Structure 1
Amino acid sequence: MIKLYGTSMSRAARCLWALEEAGLQYEHIPTSFDGGTRTPEHLKINPNGHVPALDDNGLILWESMAINLYLAEKYGKNGLWPASVADRGATYQWSFWAMTEVEPHLITMLINRLFAPPDQRDEKAVANAEAALRPPFKVLDDYLKGREYILGNQFTIADLNVASVLSLANLVKLDISATPTASAYLQKCHGRPANQKAAAMK
């Protein structure tokens, strides 16, 4: 039985989404940040003391993107995993793009709009992050014009990985109206039943 440790309020959400899209049977073990990741039991699974962590019948993996790419390659026979080497290259490219070009700035906004105490929030950091996000959102917007999904007409793990990272834009109330193609694409991805189910978990 596959086991996924984490909470839907963390990067584990993208792994729950991948498990649901792949139609897999699994056990979700809710593991929170407030002490749950620092127990001796959890540190045996992820010595970094973070979530998510995957136990696939004894194979342990951590890092959410690595987990998702593994799940899609091993179990995504329904089209979740791309068939060609070129499309797999594009999948890696867009997955890492989301994590390097977009996620750090969204995390800055998340900390300063939601997590930090009001008297410690840095509005200048928020403004700088918003400015830094405009170019990558335009890159995605331009790329998606004339495309249903990143690799063509079918939803794949590339879309799941990108949309899961960019879902933070809604949480921090980032205005992406200047990139309507990307905005419509993200709404379509986030509205998928598998994502809705994953988001409703603990």
Structure 2
Amino acid sequence: MLTIYGVYRSRASRPLWLLAELGLPFRHVPVIQAYRLSDATGPDAPLNTASPEFLKVNPLGQIPCMDADGLVLTESLAITLYIARNHGGLFGPQTPAEGALMTQWALFAATSLEGPSLEILFIQQDGGDATREGQAGLAIAAQKLRRPLKRLEDHLAAHDYLMGDRFTVADINTAECLRYAQGHAALMEEHPKVKAWLERCQSRPGFQSMMQKRLEEPA
């Protein structure tokens, strides 16, 4: 049985969304980020990324982490791709070409979308978008995203999903990396096909189930 380490309020949301779509049984170990605790090493601290028990699983001290009968993966997008390839049915690749494209979309999401999307999230979370400096930071991050979003917009002009007309792990990986920038309403409005695709992905019961559990966790 698969074991997923990590709370829903982390990048564990990616494999946890996929698992919700699949209805696949798995063991969930809710490891929390050490930085969210006042004393991560205290005797009453919950299992966290600095806990010796968890560091035996992932010496990097990062979540999520997956153990599949001894195969340990410590990168969220690698975890989702593994699950999709081995348990995902139509959520995973049906041909070598599809496998290559899903890997490419995952790398695109990680290298072109996630960084500037996180910059937007952090500025907005701290209320920085109400300051001159924050507005400047948002403008820089949005500009970094415009080229990859144009790439997505052009692709989605002809397809409902990244692999054509079929929702797959490629959509989960990419949508989750872009979700951090979703609060930048003006940027999303500039790319209506992307906005509609993201809303389509997030309307799925699997996402709704994952997000509900995420919201139920302490912030």
TM-score, normalized by the shorter chain, greater than 0.5: yes
The CA deviation at 1:113 is 2.2
Counterparts of 1:116 and 1:185, CA distance in 2: 27
Contact persistence 1:103–1:166 (CA under 8 A): yes
Counterparts of 1:169 and 1:27, CA distance in 2: 30
Counterparts of 1:122 and 1:31, CA distance in 2: 35
Structure 1 residues 174 and 103: alpha-carbon distance in aligned structure 2, compared to 1, 3 A threshold: farther
Q: Which residue of 2 aligns with 1:3?
A: 3
Q: Which residue of 1 aligns with 2:99?
A: 88
Matched, 1:27 2:27: yes
Contact persistence 1:5–1:28 (CA under 8 A): yes
The CA deviation at 1:41 is 0.5
Counterparts of 2:100 and 2:212, CA distance in 1: 32
Contact persistence 2:31–2:63 (CA under 8 A): yes
- Alignment map for 1:28-67 (pairs within 5 Å): 28-33=28-33, 34=36, 35=40, 36-67=48-79
**Alignment RMSD (CA, Å):** 2.2
Identity among equivalent pairs (%): 35
Counterparts of 1:66 and 1:106, CA distance in 2: 20
User: In structure 1, what residue type is equivalent to 2:97?
Assistant: A
Contact persistence 1:113–1:121 (CA under 8 A): no
Q: Which residue of 2 aligns with 1:17?
A: 17
What's the TM-score once normalised by structure 1's chain length?
0.91
Counterparts of 1:147 and 1:59, CA distance in 2: 35
SS in 2 for 1:45: coil
User: In structure 2, what residue type is equivalent to 1:183?
Assistant: K
User: In structure 2, what residue type is equivalent to 1:47?
Assistant: P
Q: Report Cα offsets for 1:67-123 as digits up to 9, x if no partner.
A: 00100011012x0112111111111111110111110001112222215999x9952
Contact persistence 2:12–2:63 (CA under 8 A): yes
Larger deviation: 143-152 or 27-36?
A: 27-36
Max Rg structure: 2
Counterparts of 2:194 and 2:142, CA distance in 1: 16
Structure 2, unpaired ranges of 5+:
41-47
Contact persistence 1:22–1:72 (CA under 8 A): no
Contact persistence 2:182–2:188 (CA under 8 A): no
Q: Which residue of 2 aligns with 1:165?
A: 177
Structure 1 residues 121 and 52: alpha-carbon distance in aligned structure 2, compared to 1, 3 A threshold: farther
Structure 1 residues 85 and 128: alpha-carbon distance in aligned structure 2, compared to 1, 3 A threshold: same
Structure 1's consecutive aligned runs of 4 or more residues displaced over 4 angstroms after TM superposition are: 115-118, 171-174
Counterparts of 1:117 and 1:168, CA distance in 2: 15
The CA deviation at 1:157 is 0.9
Structure 1, unpaired ranges of 5+:
none
The CA deviation at 1:58 is 2.8
The CA deviation at 1:154 is 0.9
